[in-house]
Structure 1
Amino acid sequence: MAKPISHINEPSLNEKEIQNQVLEKVIQDVTQNANGIQEAIKLLQELHESGILEAVNSLIEAKEKIAKIAVGQMLRPPVTNAINNGMAAAGILTELNPEMTKKMMEGLSKGLQKAEEGLQQNQKVGLFELIKLTKDPDVNRAMGFGINFLKGLGEGMKE
């Protein structure tokens, strides 16, 4: 009866054999991807000729300096104010009713069109014309909206 195998000897490769295997794998990969490699070489050559490759290399070499400059710029009060204002505006927009916002934007667009038409016609508005316009339902609606808006704005500023 044969003895059971208790130990398997794996062939050990020397450094030269490992390098040969790696080299064969690289050659195999190159032959399988020849078209892609050629396209990549063309791209790199174009980037080199246009100076973009040198700029990218310089950018990468100076990454720490660039990061310090970027962080320094981000910490400037105008930038932090802009970020804080943007966040506050985004917070307010989440509280607004989308339907009302849509109506406001449509009204604003129509209002700007009417204002431009008035400018084109060079219309002058006198006191009697102004009083007459208060009876116009569209003008009255806008005035009521404006007055209520101003009242709400004042209340908000009081808090």
Structure 2
Amino acid sequence: MAKAITQINIQEKTEEEKDQQIQKDLLKQITDNHESIQTTLEIIEELQQAGILDMAKGLLRMREKIGSISIEKVNQPSMHHLIKNGFHAIEFVGKIEPEELEKMMNGVIHGMERMSKETEKDEEISMWKMFKTMRDPHVMTALSYLTAFLNGMGEEMGKKKPH
């Protein structure tokens, strides 16, 4: 019959052997991932040349001061309104069909260009010229859109708020 094992000898690695194993493992990882490491180093070099690493280093050194200033600014009532308004603006734009928004924005841009040209003329506009302009089909189209817009806006603003 075999003898029972009463003692287990565990061979502890020395610090030097542990260090050698760590170095061996790191070299294996570097070898296996040399392309990724090379790309990362190139990115870091570009960040250094652009001065971004210096800026990040400065931000980290001043993090407590920057943090306290940021918190102070965010806690102002006007900032709360800005954040709420930002969410409402995003929600508003999200409700508009992309094609409609593009058409409207293009119209605004073209209207601004025309307005700029008109203001460069530096001539006085008579009432007769205003009435004549009102008969222009483009002006009539814009006015009909504008009155429809004002009508819808008035309907919404006239609704009573639920309490």
Give the alignment's TM-score, normalised by structure 2. 0.67
- Alignment correspondent of 1:116: 116
Instruction: Tell me the CA shift for residue 135 of structure 1.
Output: 1.3
Q: After TM superposition, list the pairs within 5 Å mapping 1:10-159 onto structure 2.
A: 11-13=10-12, 17=14, 19-28=15-24, 29=26, 52=54, 56=57, 60=60, 63=63, 66-159=66-159
User: Could you tell me which amino acid in structure 1 is paired with residue 11 of structure 2?
Assistant: S
Q: 1:7 to 1:107 in 2, by over 3 A?
A: farther
Match of 2:125, SS state, is coil
Work out the number of aligned pairs and report it: 146
User: Could you tell me which amino acid in structure 2 is paired with residue 12 of structure 1?
Assistant: Q
Instruction: Tell me the CA shift for residue 32 of structure 1.
Output: 8.0
- The percentage of counterpart residues that share the same residue type is 21
Give the alignment's TM-score, normalised by structure 1. 0.69
Give the Cα separation in 1 of the matches to 2:29 and 2:102: 57
Structure 2, gaps ≥5 residues long = none
Instruction: Tell me the CA shift for residue 74 of structure 1.
Output: 1.5
Q: 1:91 to 1:22 in 2, by over 3 A?
A: same
Give the Cα separation in 2 of the matches to 1:158 and 1:124: 38
Instruction: Tell me the CA shift for residue 140 of structure 1.
Output: 0.5
Aligned CA-pair RMSD? 3.8
User: Could you tell me which amino acid in structure 1 is paired with residue 10 of structure 2?
Assistant: P
Give the Cα separation in 2 of the matches to 1:73 and 1:27: 48
Match of 1:123, SS state, is coil
Structure 1, gaps ≥5 residues long = none
Instruction: Tell me the CA shift for residue 81 of structure 1.
Output: 0.9
Give the Cα separation in 2 of the matches to 1:81 and 1:109: 28
Give the Cα separation in 1 of the matches to 2:62 and 2:9: 48
